[in-house]
Structure 1
Amino acid sequence: MDTFIARQPILNQHKRLFAYELLYRGKLMAGQPGFDGDQATSSLLTGAFLTEGLETISNNKPCFINFTQELLIKNIPAVFPQTKIVVEILEDVQPTEEVITVCRNLKEQGYTLAMDDFVYAENLKPLIELADIIKIDFRLTPVDTIQETLSILSRYKLKFLAEKVETHAEFGKALELGFSYFQGFFFATPEKIRIKEIAPVKTSLFHVLTEINRKDVQTERLAEIIEADVSLSYKLLRYVNSAYFYRLSKVKSIVQAVAYLGEKEIRSFINLLIISEISGDKPVELVRLAAVRAKFCSLLGEKSPDNVAHAELFMLGLFSLLPAMLDYPIKVITYKLPLSKELKRALVHGDGPLGPYLQAAIAYEQNKKDRCLEALDAINVPLASVYEMYLEAIHYAEILTNI
């Protein structure tokens, strides 16, 4: 069975990254006939720790990983470093004597324990007493039930994590209720969709964004734009001399860096850095997600026989999150930018020849396997190659967001 691993961010009350949940991406997904949770977690752990290295996937943050009853009884979590994982106890795990003993030992060894998709029941008390974090599905659980659960559990020393938080209103409500951690893509959606003026600083950056995406802009002009900005210059030199390129000799000038990367790569780089500046008041994870999505889309293009331009697909992934960064409708944003008709169509309507690339990237990161497979089929990209591309996109994003 092919192994695919994706990650979903878990943010704290200040919208800063706290951890990731690692999600299994195999031929069968949870809830489908024949799905084996033990095999899923084993494959995930093998891929994450033994094959790829956890640092590549997790950015050195803790990783929430699901453990079934069988894997807990076998004490599989103890094989892995307690500082690297959060042991996520699935909702169907029964608090048997064996399970409680293993969990107590893990707790004594310094592991963090979380209970997934929590619904209160009296028989769960032994596990609750050992748990550090309780995860509650914020969309499926009525607010009254959540309040009652939090009240019952108030006597325990626990932190609460709201899962499937998809809007800023839901984030606000969960925060008000007392949750400490939040999982979902609320941070990647606009806070307010309304016609308004963009802040002056963002407007200036938006003008630069417009200029560098004109088809007639020469490489020399791109170099001038970078040289005129100390921050861009510094970050470009750090990027081109980073481990991502494994260079033996250092690049010491902007002209040399531009020549080394080439027009397509340098354009993508400036796009990403300017968008990072534009979203300075947003969670860092939003920029990281944009970088992953941009690189992932461009890698899908390289694998597809359709021969779509790298720059188009990179901008497709990157600009797909501009509404969340600017709190501005995508239709208005694309009207102001000199983008191709195909790119605008994919961003605004999600269809056209470029639409499936963005659909595949979003579906993969959001754990929507059927939609992802449908999009991959439309661009003739085999599923077996997606995991490696996703890892490369993550690696690329981590380099860029840490320079």
Structure 2
Amino acid sequence: MDQFIARQPILNIHKKLHAYELLYRGAKHYSLDKVSSDRATTSVLSSVFLTRDIQEISAYRPCFVNFSQNLIETMLPTSFPQSQIVVEVLEDVQPTPKVLAACNRLRRSGYTIALDDFIYDRKLEPLIELADIIKIDIRMTPLDTIIRTLNLLSRHKVKLLAEKVETLQEFEKASKMGFVYFQGYFFCEPEQVHIKELPANKASLVALLAEVIGKKTTLEKLYKIISTDLAVTYKLLKFLNSAYFYRLEKVKTVKHAIAYLGAKELTRFIMLIIISELAVEKPGELVRLVLVRAKFCELLGKSCSYACDSSELFVLGLFSLLDTMLETSMKKVLENLPVSSMIKDALLLKTGLYADFLRVPIAFEKNDDTVSTALLAKLGVNMEKASESYLVAMRYANGLV
């Protein structure tokens, strides 16, 4: 039976990707609210480590995985590499002698231990002593409770992780309070939205992007863009030789790459490079996120019950965070780009069919099963197909970032 998972990025104080938390999204014919924590965790672990290439999911970063009391006591984490998982102890786990002994063994074996949804209680002190990371939900926990908790934790050698960080203001406040890891989508927000003009270098990139997505571009123009830029050439060859393509023979030259990709895919690749350059001063996860959205939207378009242009849906996902990358309004960005009215309606007004396609990857990112299920039903895509597409999109993004 297919098991479905989602992942959420965990960034450090420099907004660099530190890890992912892997989340159980259910299985076909099963309701999430009827699934035990044991089943959820074992399903995630079997899907990721036993039936999938872990690097497709983790992008070579550690994976936070929830463990219940029973799974900790039975030492299930030791079945998996200590370099690839962080043992996330669920909030309802009690510090029994058996749990403490198991955590002590895990710690000595090199596993990182995190306490999830932490609320201070004196009886948790022995467990805190064994923890490396403590996670606090900054939205659900009152500010005075957070401050009191941080004071109590100050005598312990633990790192603090802020969960549900959705705005830059929350990120800045949490970082000032001493948190060093952050989970949430604050990095998707534009930092400034009132800049009147783009810097010259970014303006030229937007102009190049407009030329590339226009109808007049040719293979010869694309070849000149690639062959005169060593960095772009390197990225192209790296991409084509990544796990996404599963090639038996390596692509070694630009001409071979162009012949293999063709005009359509080559145009798309250059778009991706431009997007990554536009976001060069932003968290790297931002680029990975839009690449996943782009490929996921495209694959949804190919699977849905509507007659859709999947190439346009790719552009929709790719451009979904351009306002953040350029630190200006989406309206101003789209003024200079030749995109369709359906893309503009989705990005500016959040209306139209394309807006529903974009809401699906966003719901997957936030592990919002209720929203994703309703949207997929509306689009005529089953959850099994969508989840498979999500994994393909992650593998695609990992080949480029």
- The TM-score normalised by the length of structure 1 is 0.94
C-alpha change, 1:135 and 1:290, in structure 2 (3 Å) is: same
**Amino acid across the alignment from 1:236:** L
Q: Does 1:386 align with 2:395?
A: no
- SS of structure 2 residue aligned to 1:155: coil
Counterpart of 2:361 in structure 1 is 361
- Worse-superposed segment, 78-87 or 254-263: 254-263
Q: 2:249, 2:127 → 1: CA distance?
A: 55
Offset at 1:248? 4.2
Residue 233 of structure 1 aligns to a residue in which SS?
A: helix
Unaligned runs of 5+ in 1: none
Query: 2:239 & 2:343 partners in 1: Cα distance?
Result: 27
CA positional deviation for 1:38: 0.7
Pair 1:226–1:135, CA change in 2 (3 A): same
Which residue number corresponds to residue 282 of structure 2?
A: 282
Per the TM alignment, residue 236 of structure 1 is displaced from its structure 2 partner at its CA by 2.0
Q: Kindly provide the amino acid, as one letter, of the partner of residue 169 in structure 2.
A: A
Task: Indicate conservation of the 8 Å contact 2:21/2:64, yes or no.
Answer: yes
What amino acid maps onto 2:225 in structure 1? I
For the residue of structure 1 that corresponds to 2:64, the secondary structure is strand
Secondary structure in 1 aligned to 2:198? coil
- The superposition leaves residues 257-311 of structure 1 with CA deviations (integer Å, 9 ceiling, x where unpaired) of 2332123212221111101011111111111111111111111112224242232
Q: How has the CA–CA distance of structure 1 residues 238 and 369 changed in structure 2, closer, same or farther, with 3 Å as cutoff? A: same
1:342 Cα deviation from its structure 2 partner: 0.8
Give 2:203's aligned residue: 203
1:271 alignment counterpart: 271
Measured in 2, the distance between the counterparts of 1:133 and 1:2 equals 32
1:137 is aligned to 2:137:
yes
CA contact (8 A) 2:28 2:384 kept: no
The one-letter code sitting in structure 2 at the alignment partner of 1:131 is A
Stretch moving more, 216-225 or 49-58: 216-225
- The one-letter code sitting in structure 1 at the alignment partner of 2:121 is A
Task: Give deviations 1:6-62, integer Å, cap 9, x for gaps.
Answer: 111111111111111111111599996423111010100000100002222111211
Instruction: Give the conservation status (yes or no) of the 8 Å contact 1:30–1:37.
Output: no
CA–CA distance in structure 2, aligned partners of residues 161 and 61 of structure 1: 16
Task: After TM superposition, give the deviation of residue 214 of structure 1 in Å.
Answer: 1.0
Q: Does the residue aligned with 2:353 lie in a helix, a strand or coil?
A: coil
1:26 and 1:285 map into 2 onto residues whose CA distance is 25
Question: Which 10-residue stretch deviates more, 187-196 or 166-175?
Answer: 187-196
User: What is the Cα-based RMSD across aligned positions, in Å?
Assistant: 2.0
Counterpart of 2:9 in 1: which secondary structure? strand
- Asked if 1 retains the 8 angstrom alpha-carbon contact of 2:2 and 2:28, the reply is no
Structure 2 residue identity aligned to 1:3: Q
The 8 Å contact of residues 3 and 44 in structure 1, kept in 2 or not, is answered as yes
- The 5-angstrom pairing of residues 318-329 of structure 1 reads 318-329=318-329
Question: Within 5 Å, which residues of 2 pair with 1:341-360?
Answer: 341-360=341-360
Q: Where does residue 83 of structure 1 map in the other structure?
A: 83
Give secondary structure in 1 for the equivalent of 2:66: strand
- Paired residues of 1:268 and 1:311 also in contact (CA < 8 A): no
**Paired residues of 1:187 and 1:286 also in contact (CA < 8 A):** yes
Between the aligned residues of both structures, percent identity stands at 51
Shift of residue 211 of structure 1?
0.7
Aligned equivalents of 1:131, 1:168: Cα separation in 2: 28
2: distance between equivalents of 1:393 and 1:149? 39
CA distance, structure 2, for counterparts of residue 378 and residue 217 of structure 1: 36
Q: Could you tell me whether the CA contact under 8 Å between 2:3 and 2:28 is conserved in 1?
A: no
Secondary structure, aligned partner of 1:354: helix
Q: CA deviation at 1:163?
A: 0.5
Deviation at 1:234, TM superposition (A): 3.2
Deviation at 1:353, TM superposition (A): 2.2
The CA deviation string for residues 51-95 of structure 1, in whole angstroms up to 9 with x for no partner, is 002222111211110011121122211211111111101111111
Partner of 1:244: 244
Which residue of structure 1 aligns with residue 300 of structure 2? Answer: 300
Q: 1:318 to 1:143 in 2, by over 3 A?
A: same
Q: How many residues align?
A: 401
When residues 237 and 6 of structure 1 are mapped into structure 2, their CA distance, relative to the original with a 3 A threshold, is same
Looking at structure 2, the residues matched to 15 and 30 of structure 1 have their Cα atoms a distance apart, in angstroms, of 36
Corresponding residue for 1:223?
A: 223
Look up the match of 1:13. 13
Aligned position for 1:50: 50
1:204 and 1:323 map into 2 onto residues whose CA distance is 16
> 1:219: Cα distance to partner?
3.2
Distance 1:13 1:255 in 2: 42
Q: Whole-Å Cα distance in 1 between the matches of residues 149 and 205 of structure 2?
A: 47
Cα 1:74–1:257 change in 2 (3 A) is same
Report the counterpart of residue 148 of structure 2 in structure 1: 148
Take 2:388 and 2:175, find their aligned partners in 1: how far apart are those partners?
36
Q: Does 1:66 align with 2:66?
A: yes
- The equivalent of 1:162 in structure 2 is 162
Shift, 1:251, TM fit: 4.0
C-alpha distance in 1, partners of 2:151/2:342? 52
Q: C-alpha distance in 2, partners of 1:66/1:249?
A: 40
Distance 2:126 2:255 in 1: 64
Question: CA–CA distance in 1 between the matches of 2:362 and 2:82?
Answer: 31
Q: Quick one: structure 1 residues 259 and 39, their matched pair in 2 at CA, closer, same or farther if it must change by over 3 Å?
A: same
Contact 1:160 1:178 (C-alpha < 8 Å) held by counterparts: yes
Shift of 1:164: 0.7
* Cα offsets for 1:376-398 (capped at 9, x unmatched): 12221110112221111111111
Q: Return the letter of the residue paired with 2:343.
A: L
Note the C-alpha offset of 1:332: 1.6
TM-score using structure 2 length? 0.95
